[in-house]
Chain A
């Protein structure tokens, strides 16, 4: 009797089969045929994102430059590294309780991989703003916002604004001179909103000027509220891409 090979042992049991649906590339008997290629998409959680087949021209790197996908990847990466950072950060400031700034110092000095993860989070945030900008430009130059995709462009603009807000609220959290004064420039402008200027500024800052309340407020916005809203709009964005007939083009 030939020994059962490892692959068969792992794959040929009820548990494995209960996890991987028919057509999964991890399931026993996957064959590289049209039928199984179709099932690999259709019977997979990824079917929420991708149809079974996509237009060939959309695969060409020079059509999307993967920019939308990379924006999404950056978002995921920022979520993962951000959760790591949350373990070591307390949004507290003020005389005698400068915990936030101290945490940042400790992060690079004594947390394993602390500095590296902080770097990833920081450069990733800049990269995401950049890829989202470029993604918008490529969508424009392809005229990819034309019917039936007008509304998805609108969702996109909202995502752009959310991306900027995520980045900006995060900028304050290290609570160093750089953060404080960069944010001061930004929020002073908001104070000039007609009619409600003062109120807008008061709500955003949690007071008349940037202080410990602002830090707490922006922390909650940064790690909870804005990411949550972003995820909702991302879901609509991806759903609309498929309902609008997949990627636009070819030109």
Chain B
């Protein structure tokens, strides 16, 4: 698939000699090799200069049939102002006015061709910081390809093969034909609802089946709005973690009791005495 770029051994050895980290040395040596091969192919390196850009644009326009008209760019209305790229309302109003040409019929341009068929001129209304808050903080990042995609692929293969192996050896259960007149001795919900069925032993069905699950769902939905603690560090959120662990443990316990310790007629049994009254 990928043409592995050969590295420039000379550069690599020199950088290693200088005590550079192997990853960095390899990357720089790769870059050097690519640069060399580009020069050999007669391509230019680096970003194009302004003249080159202008020339390319001319050529493009000529080839595209002289579509776009050369444009003026609106003078920035806020020279020197606006700390952090934010405009005051007055500055923004001035900008909008400038870009709309003060109500004139021919709007002054912001660098987009004016005589095109575009009907939207939203660009003039977007604040310079953009629509989203862009975090400028540098972070330690890696390329999605190949790093993340390879991890995902391996995880997918592992999970897929596990499931395939399980499916090869374990058959899904199929009982006898459904019969509404014959209540089976052991009658259980699927395991993820076992907690609710267990609650049904202790509470009125409305409480166990509607009120409590409702409360749990609402509590889950509300969690991020109730937990106002800004820290994500476990040290600082002992209460939240305790509460959630308690919630999970409570739920897990109910499911385990319901699944393994309940037998015929939903009576309490020991599974090693009465057998496992549990089907997935």
Bound Cα distance A179, B151 (Å):
38
| Interface: A225 (CB within 8 A) | no
Smallest CB–CB gap between B168 and chain A, Å? 7
Closest Cβ of chain B to A153, distance in Å, is 5
Question: Are B3 and A30 neighbours in the complex by a CB distance under 8 Å?
Answer: yes
Instruction: Determine the distance from Cα of A118 to Cα of B183 in the docked complex, in whole angstroms.
Output: 26
The interface bits of chain B over 1-39 (1 if a CB of A lies within 8 angstroms of the residue's CB, else 0) are 111110000000000000000000001001100100000
Query: C-beta contact mask, B219-250 vs A, less than 8 Å → 1, else 0?
Result: 01101110101111110010011001000100
Q: Please report the total number of A residues contacting B with Cβ < 8 Å.
A: 97
User: Least Cβ distance of A160 to chain B in Å?
Assistant: 8
Report if A146-B140 is in contact (Cβ < 8 Å); known contacts: A124-B163, A175-B177: no
**Cβ A31 vs Cβ B175 within 8 A:** no
Min distance, Cβ A92 to any Cβ of chain B, angstroms: 13
Among candidates A73, A122, A189, residue contacting B209 with C-beta atoms closer than 8 Å: A189
Bound complex: CA of A193 vs CA of B205, how far in Å? Answer: 9
| Interface flag for B182 (CB, 8 Å) | yes
B259 contacts the other chain (Cβ, under 8 Å)? Answer: no
Main secondary structure of the interface of A (DSSP, over half): helix
A/B pair count, beta carbons within 8 Å: 233
Q: Which of A75-133 contact B (CB under 8 A)?
A: 77, 93, 98, 101, 104-105, 108, 115-116, 118-124, 126-127, 129, 133
Q: Does B143 contact A120, Cβ atoms closer than 8 Å?
A: no
A53 contacts B141, C-beta separation under 8 Å: yes
B139 touches A55 (CB 8 A): yes
- Residue among B141, B183, B196, B231 with the most chain A CB within 10 A? B141
For the complex, give the distance between the alpha carbons of A115 and B167 in Å: 9
Contact B189 A182 (CB under 8 A): yes
Asked if B177 and A150 sit within 8 Å, CB to CB, the answer is no
Chain A residues within an 8 Å CB radius of B280? 122-123, 126
List chain B residues, Cβ under 8 A from A38.
143
Query: Are B4 and A119 in contact, with the CB atoms below 8 A?
Result: no
Q: A116-B168, A120-B163, A181-B187 are in contact. Are A41 and B145 (CB under 8 A)?
A: yes
* CB–CB B188/A182 < 8 A: yes
Min Cβ gap A179→B in Å is 6
Query: In whole angstroms, how far apart are the Cα atoms of A204 and B144 in the complex?
Result: 45
Contacts of B27 in A (CB 8 A): 34
Q: Which of B43-51, B92-100, B112-120, B153-161 participates in binding chain A?
A: B153-161
Instruction: Give the residue name and chain of the B residue nearest to A160 (CB).
Output: B220
Is B232 a contact of A59 with CB atoms below 8 Å?
no
Complexed CA–CA distance, A245 and B159 (Å): 28
Please tell me if the beta carbons of B171 and A115 are within 8 angstroms of each other in the complex.
yes
B9 to chain A, nearest CB (A): 16
Q: Return the CB mask of B147-191 against A: 1 if under 8 Å, else 0.
A: 111011001100110011011101111111111101110011111
Residue of A nearest to B34 (CB): A33
A171, B178: Cβ atoms closer than 8 Å: no
B135 within 8 A of A: yes
Q: Complex Cα distance A101/B174, Å?
A: 9
**Chain A residues whose C-beta falls within 8 Å of the C-beta of B208 in the assembled complex:** 189
Q: What would be 7 A-B contacts, judged by CB atoms less than 8 Å apart?
A: A119-B170, A150-B224, A164-B193, A177-B182, A185-B197, A186-B189, A192-B209
Apart from A123-B172, A145-B223, A164-B193: 14 A-B pairs, beta carbons within 8 A:
A32-B3, A33-B31, A57-B140, A123-B280, A137-B248, A141-B234, A143-B240, A146-B227, A147-B224, A168-B193, A180-B180, A182-B189, A182-B190, A192-B210
Chain A residues with CB under 8 Å of chain B are 25-26, 29-34, 37-38, 40-41, 44, 46, 50-59, 61, 66, 69-70, 73-74, 77, 93, 98, 101, 104-105, 108, 115-116, 118-124, 126-127, 129, 133, 137, 140-147, 149-150, 153-154, 157, 160-161, 164, 167-168, 171, 174-182, 184-186, 188-194, 209-211, 243, 245, 248-249, 251
